[in-house]
C-alpha cells in the first residue's frame, strides 16, 4: 500500500469513529444529521410525527393519464401517510381468498407503508376469520358490521317485480342475474360503504377483493399521489358492461342530468362513456373490484343526489345495476377528467383479467410477476382505447 492511500484510510477511519462517538454521546448531533432530518428538508415537511401532513406544494403536473411512475420524491416516502385505508368487503366464507389478497398487498406494498385496514361484512366476522386475517398485517385493522338498511333490499322495492326480473335474467343466462345478495352488494358498494362508521375518519380508500393479485412491487404511495394531485378516482382495468344488467341506467343518467345540469363538471370525461355525444352509453366503465378513490367525492352533493335518484328508481333490484358503471359514470361526469387516474404501475389481476404494467422500465422496476403480453389493456373487450382517446385530448 502506498503512502497517500494509507493516509486517506487513516483520515476516513478517524472521521467515522468521531461520527460514531458523537452519535452515541450527543443526542443533538444525532438529531441534526439523522437521515430523516436531512431528507425531510428536501420534502419541506416539518414534522415527521404527523401522519397526515398537508401535502407539500404541488409539483409540475403529472396529471396526464398516461403518466408513468410518479416522479415526485415525496411519493416514495414511507413515513408520511395519507388519510386513507385499505378496504375489503367479504363474507366469512371468503376467508382463504381474503388472506391471499391481503398477503399479496402487504408483501408488495403495505408492509412498507402501513396503511390501516377495514373489513366489512353484513354479518359479524367469526373469531376464526378475525384471527386469521389480523395476523397478516402489522397495521391497525378493524372489522365492521354493515347496518341492516345499508345492505338488504328495501321494503319499498316491489318484490314481485324484482323477482320477475331475476327470473328473466336467469333464463337469459345473465351472470348473477338470479342473485339478490349480489344486488345487495352492488347497491352497498354504490351508495353506502363510504357511510360506514369505521370509514368516517378516512378520505381515500383502496378497495381490495378476495382472490385478487398484485403482480408488482408498489414502491410509491398511491394514496399520497391521490391526495397530492387531488385525484378523485384511480383504476387499473376498464371494460364493457353487460348491457342486460343496466338496460335503463343511461336513461336515468340523462334524466338526472337534465334535472341537475349544475353537477356536470366542465372538462368532464363524457367522451369516455359515449360515441354519440351522450345520446347512448358505450358501456365502458372502470372495473371497480380495484378502486383507489376519494370518499369525499361520493359523500359530496352531486354523487349523493345522483345515488339517491338511481336508488329511488329501484334499478339495483329491478335490473342489476353494478357499482362499477354507477361509480364510473359519476366520476366521469361530475369530476373533471384530469381527476381520474390510470395506475399503470400497479400490476393487478381479478380473474379473468390482468393489467400488467406497460413499458419495459416500469415492469422491470416493479419486479412484476405478470406477463405484459397477457395484459388486458388492448384486448378487444377492454375500454383502454377509449380512455386513450380521451386522455389525448388534455
Ligand X SMILES: *[C@@H]1O[C@H](CO)[C@@H](O)[C@H](O)[C@H]1NC(C)=O
Q: Does 239 bind Mg ion (CB under 5 A)?
A: no
* Nearest Cα residue to 294 out of 354, 358, 348, 225: 225
Stretch of 26-34, 72-80, 115-123, 205-213 contacting ligand X, by CB under 6 A: 26-34
What is the 3-class SS of the chain, one letter each residue? CCHHHHHHHHHHHHHHHHHHHHHHHCHHHHHHHCHHHHHHHHHCCCCCCCCCCCCCCCCCCCCCCCCCCCCCHHHHCCCCCCCEEEEEECCHHHHHHHHHHHHHHHHHHHHHHCCCEEEEECCCCCHHHHHHHHCCCCCCEEEEECCHHHHCCCCCCCHHHHHHHHHHHHHCCCCCCCCHHHHHHHHHHHHCHHHCHHHCCCCEEEEECCCCEECCCCCCCHHHHHHHHCCCEEECCEEECCHHHCCCHHHHHHHHHHHCHHHCCCCCCHHHHCCCCCCCCCCEEECCCCEEEEHHHHHCHHHHHHHHHHHHHCHHHHCCCCHHHHHHHHHHHHCCHHHEEECCCCCEEECCEEECCCCHHHHHHCCCCCCHHHCCCCCCCECHHHHHHHHHCC
Which of Mg ion, ligand GTP, ligand X, none binds 31 (CB below 5-8 Å, type-dependent)? ligand X
Which of ligand X, ligand GTP, Mg ion, none binds 32 (CB below 5-8 Å, type-dependent)? ligand X
Q: Does 31 bind ligand X (CB under 6 A)?
A: yes
- CB of 181 vs ligand GTP, minimal distance in Å: 4
Nearer to ligand GTP among residue 107 and residue 122 (C-beta): 122
Q: Does 198 bind ligand X (CB under 6 A)?
A: no
Nearer to ligand X among residue 203 and residue 355 (C-beta): 203
Nearer to ligand X among residue 45 and residue 333 (C-beta): 45
- CB of 200 vs ligand X, minimal distance in Å: 6
* Nearest Cα residue to 308 out of 345, 260, 262: 260
Exactly one of 68, 107, 209, 217 binds Mg ion (CB under 5 A); which one?
209
Active site residue 197: no
* Nearest Cα residue to 144 out of 188, 183, 100, 78: 188
Give the binding site for ligand GTP (CB under 6 A). 89-91, 94, 121-122, 181, 185, 209-210, 289
The residue annotated as part of the active site, out of 291, 319, 345, 349, is 291
Which of Mg ion, ligand GTP, ligand X, none binds 171 (CB below 5-8 Å, type-dependent)? none
Nearer to ligand GTP among residue 17 and residue 93 (C-beta): 93
Nearer to Mg ion among residue 91 and residue 230 (C-beta): 91
Exactly one of 39, 62, 83, 179 binds ligand X (CB under 6 A); which one?
83
Which of Mg ion, ligand X, ligand GTP, none binds 107 (CB below 5-8 Å, type-dependent)? none
Nearer to ligand X among residue 5 and residue 27 (C-beta): 27
Which of Mg ion, ligand X, ligand GTP, none binds 121 (CB below 5-8 Å, type-dependent)? ligand GTP
Site map 263..302 versus ligand X, x via CB under 6 A = ---------------------------------x------
The footprint of ligand X (CB under 6 A) covers 31-32, 34, 37, 48, 52, 83, 201-203, 296
Q: Which residues are catalytic?
A: 291
Amino acid at each position: 500500500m502506498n503512502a497517500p492511500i494509507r493516509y486517506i484510510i487513516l483520515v476516513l477511519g478517524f472521521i467515522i469513529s468521531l461520527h460514531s462517538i458523537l452519535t452515541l454521546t450527543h443526542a443533538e448531533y444525532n438529531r441534526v444529521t439523522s437521515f430523516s432530518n436531512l431528507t425531510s428538508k428536501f420534502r419541506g415537511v416539518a414534522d415527521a410525527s404527523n401522519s397526515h401532513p398537508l401535502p407539500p406544494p404541488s409539483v409540475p403536473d403529472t396529471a396526464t393519464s398516461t403518466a408513468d411512475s410518479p416522479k415526485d420524491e415525496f411519493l416514495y416516502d414511507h413515513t408520511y401517510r395519507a388519510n386513507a385505508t385499505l378496504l375489503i368487503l367479504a363474507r366469512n366464507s371468503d376467508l382463504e381468498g381474503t388472506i391471499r389478497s391481503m398477503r399479496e398487498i402487504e408483501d408488495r406494498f403495505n408492509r412498507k407503508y402501513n396503511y390501516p385496514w377495514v373489513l366489512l361484512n353484513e354479518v359479524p366476522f367469526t373469531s376464526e376469520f378475525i384471527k386469521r386475517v389480523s395476523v397478516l398485517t402489522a397495521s391497525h385493522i378493524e372489522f365492521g358490521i354493515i347496518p341492516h338498511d345499508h345492505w338488504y333490499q328495501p321494503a319499498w322495492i316491489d318484490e314481485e317485480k324484482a323477482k320477475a326480473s331475476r327470473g328473466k335474467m336467469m333464463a337469459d343466462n345473465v351472470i348473477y342475474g338470479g342473485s339478490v345478495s349480489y344486488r345487495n352488494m352492488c347497491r352497498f358498494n354504490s351508495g353506502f360503504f363510504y357511510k360506514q362508521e369505521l370509514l368516517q375518519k378516512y378520505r381515500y380508500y383502496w378497495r381490495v377483493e378476495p382472490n385478487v393479485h398484485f403482480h408488482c412491487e408498489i414502491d410509491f404511495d398511491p394514496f399520497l399521489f391521490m391526495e397530492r394531485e387531488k385525484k378523485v378516482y384511480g383504476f387499473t382495468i376498464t371494460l364493457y358492461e353487460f348491457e342486460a344488467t343496466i338496460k335503463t341506467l343511461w336513461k336515468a343518467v340523462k334524466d338526472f342530468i337534465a334535472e341537475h345540469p349544475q353537477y356536470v363538471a366542465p372538462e368532464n370525461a363524457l367522451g369516455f362513456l359515449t360515441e354519440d355525444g351522450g345520446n347512448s352509453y358505450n358501456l365502458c366503465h372502470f372495473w371497480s373490484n380495484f378502486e383507489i378513490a376519494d370518499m369525499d367525492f361520493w359523500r359530496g352533493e352531486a354523487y349523493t343526489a345522483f345515488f339517491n335518484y338511481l336508488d329511488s328508481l329501484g334499478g339495483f333490484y329491478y335490473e342489476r345495476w353494478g357499482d362499477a358503471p354507477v361509480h364510473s359514470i359519476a366520476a366521469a361526469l361530475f369530476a373533471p377528467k384530469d381527476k381520474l387516474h390510470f395506475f399503470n404501475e400497479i400490476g393487478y389481476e381479478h380473474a379473468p383479467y390482468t393489467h400488467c404494467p406497460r413499458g419495459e422500465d416500469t415492469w422491470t422496476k416493479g419486479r412484476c410477476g405478470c406477463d405484459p403480453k397477457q395484459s388486458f389493456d388492448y384486448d378487444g373487450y377492454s375500454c383502454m382505447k377509449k380512455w386513450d382517446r380521451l386522455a389525448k385530448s388534455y
